[in-house]
Amino acid sequence: MSEIRIPAPLGLLAELTHRCPLGCPYCSNPLALEPRKDELSAADWARVFKEAAALGVLQVHLSGGEPASRRDLPEIVAGARDANLYSNLITSAVGLNGAALARLADAGLDHVQVSIQDSEQDSADTIAGYKGAFERKRALAADVVKLGLPLTINVVVHRANISHVVPMVEMALALGASRVEIAHVQYYGWALKNRAALMPSREQVEQAVREVETLRAQHRGHIVIDAVVPDYYARYPKPCVGGWGRRSLNVTPSGKVLPCHAAESIPGLEFWNVREHALADIWLRSPAFNAFRGTEWMAEPCRSCERRDHDFGGCRCQAFLIAGDARQADPVCHLSPHHRLVEQLAAVREDAPYVYRR
């Protein structure tokens, strides 16, 4: 095998807990949630953050589940600050109030990302599976701005809310966000269970893409709008996680280190745990991180494709999920021999009730 140059990772996603009061049907957490008794302690996280910084990581995303389900969250944030990492809290806003947020700011929190489910209260609460979530999110966003912390609003788009992209961006502006991330549902974990209920039509997606372009032109200089075209209607795949083992790592609540949040869906991968290995060792030498580094593992058409160093063959988890083999091209690529399966799946759309994450 030719030698692979392994770059330093830039970001670490710290899944502090899988506990969450919400039940979003597109949650990216695995179906088998890790229990509270297995969660890493704040001291474990502080060590992991120091090792991450030494490895080259600049940013830590404190995520979950709902990170505020951890009572020791201020201690965990302080651990990130002590490691000189830029900390971003990814929160549903439920379980946090202004006073708790102020404690996190005092502990060194740098940035807050609040997810919203819709611009309309009833629909937003229905999607979240939690009555009152909409108002709690608005209140927390106001507290973030009051404390002078930068705010990103994250919008996960699917069939039930894709026609509300404009009011959702306007809501983010009104809340004082400096950035909006519009992400289409990725069909792993719970979203895969709800795929037919969440899948938008091609017409809906095209309309939303046009609306985002107009919004960008209208609000240039006031708010940054990041938007990604949904996989199932794209011509080429996204460079998932910036390429396997190239940019980032995920640490699960119990300390397993994954190259992406859905990596456990690929059978046969061996993940190492921060309880037993140093993070640098895991990044450089663990079997899971080396499974899809470089290009040697690729099958045709990726192997000889001129885009292989640009999109890295797309998403390994999606290749396994749809083509049954993680070494295949991501089937959303129109060059993939399995691409017609994606077209068939995108055509399955049902107004079935959601299976909520519980």
**Which residues contribute to the site for ligand SF4 (CB under 6 A)?**
236-237, 301-302, 305, 307-308, 311, 313-314, 329-330, 333, 335
Count of other CB atoms within 10 angstroms of residue 236:
16
List 263, 279, 323, 342, residue binding ligand FES (CB under 6 A): 263
The amino acid that residue 126 corresponds to is: T
Task: State the nearest-atom distance from the C-beta of 209 to ligand FES, in Å.
Answer: 22
Residue 313 binding: pick among ligand SF4, ligand FES, none (C-beta 5-8 Å cut-off by kind): ligand SF4
Q: Is 315 in the site for ligand FES (CB under 6 A)?
A: yes
**Residues between 97 and 116 with contacts to ligand FES, criterion CB under 6 A:** none
- The angle subtended at Cα 263 by Cα 152 and Cα 45, nearest 5°, is 60
Q: Count of residues binding ligand FES (CB under 6 A)?
A: 10
Q: Which amino acid is at 197?
A: A
**Which parts of 191-276 are beta strand (E)?**
224-227, 248-251, 257-258
Exposed/middle/buried for 345, CB within 10 Å: 0-12, 13-18, 19+? middle
- Which conformational region is residue 7 in: left (phi greater than 0), alpha (psi within -120 to 50 degrees), or beta? beta
Is 317 among the residues that bind ligand FES (CB under 6 A)? yes
Contacts with 42 (C-beta within 8 Å, 6 or more apart), sequence order: 72, 75, 76, 79
Identify what 316 binds: ligand SF4, ligand FES, none; CB under 5 to 8 Å per kind: ligand FES
Query: Could you say which of 27, 260, 333, 346 contacts ligand FES (CB under 6 A)?
Result: 260
**Which of ligand FES, ligand SF4, none does residue 317 bind (CB under 5 to 8 Å by kind)?**
ligand FES
Q: Which does 329 bind (CB under 5 to 8 A by kind): ligand SF4, ligand FES, none?
A: ligand SF4
Pairing of strands 111-116, 224-227: unpaired
Question: Which conformational region is residue 301 in: left (phi greater than 0), alpha (psi within -120 to 50 degrees), or beta?
Answer: alpha
Pick one of 316, 329, 336, 339: the residue that binds ligand FES (CB under 6 A): 316
Q: Which of residues 184-203 bind ligand FES (CB under 6 A)?
A: 188
The option from ligand FES, ligand SF4, none interacting with 297 (CB < 5 to 8 A, set by class) reads: none
* Interaction of residue 298 with ligand FES, rule CB under 6 A: no
Restricted to residues 238-257, the positions that interact with ligand FES (CB under 6 A) are 240-241, 244
The angle at the Cα of 12, spanning 25 to 183, to the nearest 5 degrees, equals 35
The candidate with the shortest Cα–Cα distance to 161, out of 127, 196, 131, is: 127
Enumerate binding residues for ligand FES (CB under 6 A): 188, 240-241, 244, 260, 262-263, 315-317
